[in-house]
Amino acid sequence: MGKIFVSDHPVVKSMITVLRSETTSVGEFRRAISDISMLLCYEAFRNAGLDTFEVKTPMGMAEGVALSDKMAVTVPILRAGLGMTEGILRLLPDCGVGLVGMYRNEETLIPVEYYCKLPSYTGQSLVIVTDPMLATGGSASDAVDLVKKKGGKRIILLCVIAAPEGIEKFSSRHPDVDIYCACLDGGLNDRGYIVPGLGDAGDRIFGTV
């Protein structure tokens, strides 16, 4: 079973509250999703490999380091995962971006794939799959299937709010993939929405109702 990281950071907790509130504007919502994504990515790279090299400062030589993962790829699950991309690129500006489009059938809750475009070097990269909501876990599990089909081997999942049902399904289908989430909620309602959650993440990021 992969590692499951749940943030306990006060800054992240306060941002989750912004996301939950139904009075939060679209702009504030996007900002909080983006900032949380950057902070989750920061946590995910805590034990990242480093290359060392000499750097010349105006005062002399110093030992410098750079992340070994030069060719990371982030894969947002459309639509809502797209809201997480800017925050990740703030931390990893050279990161590639692959796109997977999925929506849940509202009755069956089964994800329907409608788009997939992944960089050719996905198999050589650390792949960061993103979606704000891990509800039943079906969308994230299917997205990781697509990444693996493209050759992806080192994969992590970043989500903002996870439900226990989603963690359970995802971990059993992909025990080799670590999950980083900002918050673990109580469960799902009878329409497959996370409670208390934040509502429909895609609608709130894109201003559709």
Give the footprint of ligand PRP on this chain (CB under 6 A). 77-80, 102-104, 109, 111, 131-140, 166, 192, 200-202
Q: Which residue is nearest to ligand PRP (CB)?
A: 202
Among 135, 147, 155, 182, binds ligand URA (CB under 6 A): 135
CB nearer to ligand URA: pick between 72 and 75: 75
Please identify which residue in 15, 82, 127, 133 interacts with ligand URA, judged by CB under 6 A: 133
**Burial class (CB within 10 angstroms; exposed 0-12, middle 13-18, buried 19+) of 82:** buried
**Which of ligand PRP, ligand URA, none does 79 bind, CB closer than 5 to 8 A by kind?**
ligand PRP
The item of ligand PRP, ligand URA, none sharing an interface with residue 193, based on CB under 5 to 8 Å by kind, is ligand URA
Partner in contact with 194, chosen from ligand PRP, ligand URA, none, beta carbon below 5 to 8 Å by kind: ligand URA
Distance from C-alpha of 207 to C-alpha of 103, rounded to nearest angstrom: 17
Q: Does 108 participate in catalysis according to the annotation?
A: yes
* Rounded Cα–Cα distance for residues 206 and 209 (Å): 9
Q: How far apart are CA 83 and CA 205, in angstroms?
A: 7
State the CB neighbour count (10 A cutoff) for residue 183.
Answer: 23
Using CB under 6 A, which of the segments 1-9, 110-118, 144-152, 195-203 binds ligand URA?
195-203
Q: Which of 45, 103, 193, 206 binds ligand URA (CB under 6 A)?
A: 193
Which of ligand URA, ligand PRP, none does residue 85 bind (CB under 5 to 8 Å by kind)?
A: none
Q: Which position has the token pair 């809750």?
A: 109
165 binds ligand URA (CB under 6 A): no
User: What's the closest the beta carbon of residue 105 comes to ligand PRP, in angstroms?
Assistant: 8
Active site residues: 104, 108, 200, 203
Binding site for ligand URA (CB under 6 A): 80, 133, 135, 193-194, 197, 200-202
